[in-house]
Amino acid sequence: MKLTRRSFIKFAVGAVGGIHLTPLPWYLMDDAAIWSQNWWFRQVPKKGALTSATTVCTLCPGGCGIEAGLISEKRAIGISGNTSHPVSMGAVCPIGASGPQFTYGLSRVKTPLKQTGKRGDRSSFKKIGWDKAIEEVGAKLASLGGNGERLAAVGGARGSLSSELFSRLIWALGSDNLFRVPSSADSEELASLAMTGVRAPFSYDLVNSRYVLSLGCGVFEGWGSPVWVHQTLFGNNGETRLVQVDSRMSPTAAAADRWVAVEPGTEAVFALGMANVIVQQGLYDRGFVGSASGFGEFRRYLAEEYPLDFVSDLCGVEPREIVSVAREFAGVRPAVALWGRGKGSMPDTLFSAMAALALNGLVGSVGARGGVLPTPQPPLADWPDLAEVAPSAQSPKSYLDFLSSIEAASGPEVLLINQANPAYGPVAPALFKKALAKVSTVVCIGSYMDETALSADYVLPADAFLETLDGAVTPRGMPYPVFSLVSPALERLYDTKPAGEIILRLAKAAGDSVAGGFPWENWEEALKARAQGIVESKRGAVSDEETAFAVAEGKGVKVAPNFGDLDELWGKLGESAWFDPGQKLAVDFQTNSGRFTFSAAGLKGIGLGKKNGFPRPLDAPLSGDPKKFPLILVPVELLIMPGESLGAAPYLVKMLRDDQLTHNDVYADVSPRTAKKLRLKQGAMARLATPQGALIVRVNLTEAARPGVVYLPVGLGHTAYDKFLKNKGANPYEVLEFLKDKETNEVSWWGARASLSKV
Amino acid sequence: MTSHEEKRSDKDTIGWILLVIGFVGALFVGWVIFPQVIFSKKTQPVNFSHVAHAQKAEMSCEDCHTFNDDGSYNGIPSLGSCAECHGEAQGETAAEKKFVEEFVAKEKQVPWLIYAEQPDSVYFSHAPHVKSAEMKCTGCHRDVTKESLAPPLYVNRITGYAKTIMKMDVCEDCHADKGTPNDCFTCHK
Amino acid sequence: MSEEHGPKSNIRYAMVIDLDKCTGCMACAVACQEENNQAFYEDETNKNRSVTWLKVFKLDNQKSYPGYEEQFLPRPCQHCDGGHDAPCSSVCPVNATKRSIYTGIVSQIYPRCIGCRYCMAACPYHARYFNWWDPDWPGDLEKELSPLVSTRMRGVVEKCTFCNHRMMQAKNKAIMNGEKGIDPDDYVPACLEACPTGAIVFGNLKDPDSDVAKLSKSKRAFRLLSKLPTKPKVYYLSSRKWVRDLADHRR
């Protein structure tokens, strides 16, 4: 039999006919359709039981209580607020909302690393074990032999107990070369010390204020504890009047009831102009002012230095507007003036902080309902005094001087950096990088491979968001003492440790004399030693939902301790925070006179305050020739961009509008009037030059900008981190001018003279 | 008839036979071979005997297949629930020994194969079906009460879905019959 | 009206956003991204390609400094309740998007979508987004994916669902507790939950006692493009006239 073509076709016809009478073709079609819906590379979320865990957010110093949504107790899929926590009461900010991306981010440091090649070379980092890392760094610290000059340290944001432990380590090593990322809190502390005798940054009883004057604060842009500020200012259905003094139409100005447009950097002068009006028109609180000291001199100072016309000229505000705001401010009780530019982290001068505090004093809003008070601290027990070295230098050393001195001469042998990114900002990153070359060993404690970690010799990876164990004290701006326990909500992903544990281990490895000051077995024990103070104080309570909301609504709430011993307190701190809303707002003035004082004389005790009266504004104005640099550059802090020690998560970068970032180009906001003069069109590339350097930006024409001023967002321009952040935009910290407050030695920055030209 | 004609008629017969062979062969491939080839066979990592649990240990279905307070359904219990009894081996079966040694002792979740696993785009909740509509488990699932050997799982090689999966038309028809919502978001997410 | 609101249903989920309380902080928008597994890419600056179910717009009064004013406007899907389905769902050739007759929520079924983008052309609010690329959560970022919401693939359209999955969870809870309806406190979209000023209110528009029903009748209330017969179920409140005017392109 021969198979012919003809018979083969018959066979095929039969087969085709037959196959159609089977399910095969129809099933295959269906299967193919389903197959096309499920490409193998599509990531499918893994299923599991939905659970949650409460902890405290560590992404900014705001200290919000949060609840992490978890799958099978292993993966965090979302962050919401903890309704019983007094700081957040169930809400979050955008940074908190993007929280899981900080835990799972691509820039996490996964094991201790040692640089074996050239600094800054990613590929030559070698993984080392914890024991070896601690041993090597500890030996370096021990070899300094207590000679503090051979060690320097930069610490991150305040407010956490791990940062306090870090300070303790540096002091125990005999060094006073400890620098913290400068913040408005530094000058607020000194202003408060001068005028109230209590050394603490400002806090505000916002819930009970009926008139809030914001002196350039980014009230809704991350200032203070952001969620708490939002909630309290909107909590009473718009009864509080908010007035924003700011050079631009900021989101805060947009949401405020009134916007006073001033020249950038003159907010404090505006405050004193208002103070002068209030004094001259006799609108001040006679009871409070009568019981204060130094008023006569302050009154003369105002009359001589801040006459209305002068203030009007300097601030660029009509005299009648100053008078009108002053009358409003003095006419509504309680009224309060807020201080702290941007997120409240931009450091400013003692003068500015005192101006704000004095204005509050005039209307009797210091230590009163709805007013300002020195931030109350929770009654934590102190760690035992260090045997050998007393905590050094009450008066701060200048970070700028320090960097310059290293660069000029020889540097310290070891530089320790804890949860900060000084190679990126905020103060003189270029100078820091230069100074780094003179330091033989750089050790960085942090969670991410940021600019500073990249240029370190040892990177000791700290637990990140949701993983770590720490304590958080009263967040910025809150009027009652708070203590939160940051407890792990997730198992740690990598070979990391809580920052506190790393510091403790370093202390133990740094020689017996140092180790003696750190008697705790582990970090948790050290935290418990502090929390013991709360148990002994028999004050306050661990918050619940009802109490938290009652306090937020301004109801007088009396709380009684709901814990008997440390174990009970510790257990409850896993659910919410300890706070004492019943603590009276009145300030126990501890000045020499025992009264509120309108002068800086009280600073003499710590070697500051060269003049008796009120300090002058910076003696050194912004440098540069106004003809060559006719504009003023003002950095803008955005709520969606975390502070300098943390790179923004992908979801946050995604939220930037297209008039803020295009591809990798950041936009600087410029008034159309200014742009017209400079012949710059919307979106044009321009060179933004200051006496300190230059950046390439695009210009965004907006009427929100004050003519003659350039606004550039901070938080971009990273050279480290992952592809979602790296090389996007420009870093204003590189071109800002860092001024030294002659009164206090502290760094201040808020702008720079600038020019803008087409490229 | 000439030999030529004879030859042709032979050819014709062979042709027609081939056609029938093709036809029958295709039916065979389509009905018998294809259903076997299209599915891959997988077996559970450890045998699970419903009989041993229900009869020997006298457990009820709800002892393991529970609802949570929020109305979500546990489905197959997690290792933790199993370990409550199986911290140590209770009997002498090889399967239990393997289970205790490889999973309980190492605190490793068992990668159970799920016969009714729905794709990612499907939302299904037991609560409205079992609690509200009071449907029986066997209305959708196989009867496991007499099963001492967990059956193998057949997975479609193309789609990756189990052979036993319930498809959308079944859901739709029942919802239509019962007059319950048939909106897309009723069952999709 | 029965035709407009579907047969028999006494549920119409709606949202009221008080712009006077909105500071443009973006907590709602980010919470929405995280909750709903929205994709992110290396370059998200082309906003026509960027997936943002809840987008926060910046409006201004077009005046010069210092008379200039700004207002932020969060825009989720408006879940249109017009007579003939929603503009998007009535044009879908494959029934991949439908408005629920029971809840009024406009759905989107990704595996069914063929990516023709007819719905995007039909939506007057630009509330729909097309996946131009395959979403990718690199490295450990994959761990943040929520199983409550399915992930999308390249070539399909997606949009705000009023966090429909949270409604399903609330339903489960109600069933467990033997209750007939959902407790309003149990069904709260992620944006509302995140908002620190309480600017967003959500609930059943057909329940006269609900906050949304009351606020939707406020003097400050308006809807976007109210001259169109789309009848959005998202209401806005603003005391600024220029904002209300802008919502209907009246300048």
Instruction: Encode pLDDT of A614-655 as tens digits.
Output: 777 655 678 899 999 999 999 999 999 998 889 999 999 999
**C168 at A interface, C-beta within 8 A:** no
Q: Taking the model in full, what pTM does it have?
A: 0.94
- Say yes or no to pLDDT of C3 above 60: no
pLDDT in tens, A200-257: 999 999 999 999 999 999 999 999 999 999 999 987 666 899 999 999 999 999 999 9
The Cα C56–Cα C23 span in angstroms is 10
- Of A417, A586, A458, nearest to A136 (Cα)? A458
pLDDT in tens, A375-404: 999 999 999 888 655 444 455 677 888 888
Specify whether the CB–CB gap between C81 and C233 falls below 8 A: yes
For residue A740, what are the contacts with CB-CB under 8 A and spacing of at least 6? A398, A400, A401, A620, A746, A747, A748
Contact C168 B183 (CB under 8 A): no
Model confidence at C87, pLDDT cuts 50, 70, 90, reads very high
pLDDT in tens, A287-345: 999 999 999 999 999 999 999 999 999 999 999 999 999 999 999 999 999 999 899 88
- Of A272, A349, A338, nearest to A311 (Cα)? A272
- Taking contacts as CB-CB distances below 8 angstroms, the residues of chain B near C169 are 70-72
Rg (CA), chain B: 25
**B128 at C interface, C-beta within 8 A:** yes
User: How many Cβ pairs within 8 Å bridge chains A and C?
Assistant: 207
pLDDT in tens, A444-492: 999 999 999 999 999 999 999 999 999 999 999 999 999 999 999 999 9
At C5 the pLDDT is 44
pLDDT in tens, C169-185: 999 999 999 998 899 99
What single letter denotes the amino acid at residue A243?
V
At C249 the pLDDT is 80
What is the secondary structure of A221-240 as a DSSP string?
Answer: TT-SSHHHHHHHHHTTTT-S
Mean pLDDT, residues C43-57: 96
Give B49→chain A minimum CA distance, Å.
24
**C163 at A interface, C-beta within 8 A:** no
**A18 at B interface, C-beta within 8 A:** yes
Contact residues, chain B to chain A, C-beta under 8 Å: 11, 14-16, 18-27, 29-31, 34-35, 38, 68, 70, 72, 74, 78, 119-121, 156, 158-161
At C7 the pLDDT is 54
- Taking contacts as CB-CB distances below 8 angstroms, the residues of chain A near B161 are 34
- Taking contacts as CB-CB distances below 8 angstroms, the residues of chain A near C52 are 654
Contact A19 B68 (CB under 8 A): no
Quick check: helix, strand or coil at residue A137? Answer: helix
Q: Which residues of chain B have pLDDT under 50?
A: 1
- Of A347, A362, A268, nearest to A315 (Cα)? A268
- Taking contacts as CB-CB distances below 8 angstroms, the residues of chain B near C173 are 69-71
* Chain B: partners with 3+ C-beta pairs within 8 Å: A, C
Contact C141 A108 (CB under 8 A): no
Q: Which of B28, B155, B159 to mutate to test the interface with A (most CBs of A within 10 A)?
A: B159
- Say yes or no to pLDDT of A2 above 70: no
| pLDDT above 70 coverage of chain C, percent | 96
ipTM score here? 0.96
- Taking contacts as CB-CB distances below 8 angstroms, the residues of chain C near B119 are 111
- Of A294, A366, A283, nearest to A326 (Cα)? A283
Indicate the DSSP class of residue C20.
G
The Cα A80–Cα A92 span in angstroms is 6
Output the average pLDDT for chain A: 92
At A389 the pLDDT is 52
- For C163, name the nearest residue in chain B, comparing CA atoms only: B189
At A583 the pLDDT is 81
**A19 at B interface, C-beta within 8 A:** yes
At A393 the pLDDT is 46
Quick check: helix, strand or coil at residue A75? Answer: strand
B15 vs A6, A50, A72: nearest CB: A6
Contact residues, chain C to chain B, C-beta under 8 Å: 95-98, 100-103, 105, 107-112, 147-151, 161, 164-165, 168-169, 171-176
Contact C110 B121 (CB under 8 A): yes
* Chain C: partners with 3+ C-beta pairs within 8 Å: A, B
pLDDT in tens, A290-306: 999 999 999 999 999 99
Rg (CA), chain A: 29
Give whole-number Cα distances, A21 to A18, A467, A722, B19, in Å: 5, 60, 57, 15
Contact B71 C175 (CB under 8 A): yes
The distance of Cα A73 from the centroid of its chain, to the nearest Å, equals 29
Q: What is the 3-state secondary structure (H, E, C) of chain B?
A: CCHHHHHHHHHHHHHHHHHHHHHHHHHHHHHHHHHHHCEEEECCCCCCCHHHHHHHCCCCHHHCCCECCCCCECCCCCHHHHHHHHCCCCCCCHHHHHHHHHHHCCCCCCCCCCCCCCCCCECCCHHHHHHHCCCCHHHCCCCCCCCCCCCCEEEECCCCCECCCCCHHHHHHHHHHHCCCCCHHHHEC
The Cα A529–Cα A520 span in angstroms is 9
* Chain A: partners with 3+ C-beta pairs within 8 Å: B, C
| pLDDT above 90 coverage of chain A, percent | 76
Q: Which of A39, A52, A673, A703 to mutate to test the interface with C (most CBs of C within 10 A)?
A: A703
Helix (H) or strand (E) holding C30: helix C27-35
pLDDT in tens, A112-138: 999 999 999 999 999 999 999 999 999
Indicate the DSSP class of residue A582.
T
Mean pLDDT, residues C134-144: 96
Give B130→chain C minimum CA distance, Å.
10
Model confidence at A610, pLDDT cuts 50, 70, 90, reads low
Contact A21 B27 (CB under 8 A): yes
**A4 at B interface, C-beta within 8 A:** yes
Contact C98 B183 (CB under 8 A): yes
Contact C161 B67 (CB under 8 A): no
pLDDT in tens, A273-282: 999 999 999 9
Burial label, C149 (beta-carbon count in 10 A; 0-12, 13-18, 19+): buried
**C207 at A interface, C-beta within 8 A:** no
